[in-house]
Amino acid sequence: MNFIEKLTAATRKNNSLVCVGLDPDPKLMPEGLGVYEFNKAIIDATADIACAYKPNFAFYEALGDEGIAALKATIKYVPSGIPVIGDAKRGDIGNTSKAYATALFEVFKLDGATISPYLGFDGIEPFLQYKDKGLFILCRTSNSGAVDFQSLKCKTPGGGTRCLYEIVAAKAGEWNKNGNIGLVVGATYPEELKIIREQHPSLPFLIPGVGAQGGEIETTVKYGTDKNGERAVVNSSRGIIYASRGKDFAPAARKAAMTLRDQLNAFRPKLDNI
């Protein structure tokens, strides 16, 4: 089963677009709990509500060897029917990206990963060779700094102009020979989300930025999903895993994930109609 099949199966089984971002920060976690124990409890509490999990490597790397061990154990712990997307934003020259792809897919055994586009095709190609893995290329990120470069108006060969993020999306579409490319598009930029979805009706989108970052639910679903109300992986990290910072963090996470799922589903077409 390749990435998109696995994602679609999880989306349908759990009737959910919610991706739970596993970004452990000991300063925000209940005191005395290890990262793996924390993640395990979150996964147990949300495995029937989530369409994917997304650990961000930064938070594990910041914790040193223990963090990396917790990351590996967490990836392994996620039930096999739910894809795990490693948010690592890697990207280097071809020779080196090959080593990063080995790390992500053979050492960490992820189902998918986020990839940075700045180095161009040869930096992305080694990841694409893993045909069963999902590669989400950064297109329009959810942060305030996204405008610094991604919004630049660039000249196209046809003589017009398009924003950098649109050109990245277009190239990603061209490079998608193995059908395993998706895009990262932030919920915080609904107009851009709309433009990119119109241009790429069937690519899976990883959509960060709802919840703590302020992205709106309605536009996220309306502009972010495909015609069936699918292929959108809507990530929430802090809004779910730190819904409570007390002993009830796991049921609180469950409740937050369920609320987000229901809010998103309210704007999706009914599954029966697909």
**Would residue 54 show up in a list of annotated catalytic residues for this protein?**
no
**Residue 50 CA from chain centroid, whole number:** 12
For its own copies, give the closer residue by CB, 117 or 190.
117
Alpha-helical (H) ranges within 47-85 are 57-61, 64-77
For its own copies, give the closer residue by CB, 81 or 214.
214
Q: Does 56 bind its own copies (CB under 8 A)?
A: yes
Write the burial class of residue 189 (CB in 10 Å: 0-12 exposed, 13-18 middle, 19+ buried).
Answer: buried
Report the residue from 47, 135, 168, 264 that binds its own copies according to the rule CB under 8 A: 168
Total site size for its own copies, rule CB under 8 A:
57
Q: How far is the CB of 5 from its own copies (least distance, A)?
A: 27
Binding mask of the shown chain, residues 180 to 199, with x at each position contacting its own copies by CB under 8 A: --------------------
* Options 61-69, 194-202, 216-224, 226-234: segment touching its own copies (CB under 8 A): 61-69
Q: With CA atoms as reference, report the closest residue to 38 among 256, 261, 260, 242.
A: 242
Q: Does 17 bind its own copies (CB under 8 A)?
A: no
Q: Does 271 bind its own copies (CB under 8 A)?
A: no
| Cα–Cα distance, 166 to 161 (Å, whole number) | 10
259 Cβ neighbours under 8 A, 6+ residues apart: none
From the list 89, 153, 177, 255, the catalytic residue is 89
**Residue 203 CA from chain centroid, whole number:** 13
Answer yes or no: are the C-beta atoms of 76 and 109 closer than 8 Å.
Answer: yes
Report the residue from 30, 94, 173, 269 that binds its own copies according to the rule CB under 8 A: 94
What are the strands, taking DSSP E only, across the chain? 18-22, 52-55, 85-90, 112-115, 134-140, 153-155, 161-163, 181-185, 205-207, 232-236
Q: With CA atoms as reference, report the closest residue to 3 among 75, 52, 69, 56.
A: 52
Return the residues of window 96-155 that contact its own copies according to CB under 8 A.
96-97, 99-100, 102-103, 106-107, 116-124, 138, 141-150, 152-155
**Which residues lie near its own copies (CB under 8 A)?**
23, 25, 56, 58-59, 61-65, 68-69, 87, 89-94, 96-97, 99-100, 102-103, 106-107, 116-124, 138, 141-150, 152-155, 161, 164, 167-168, 171, 208
Active-site positions?
89
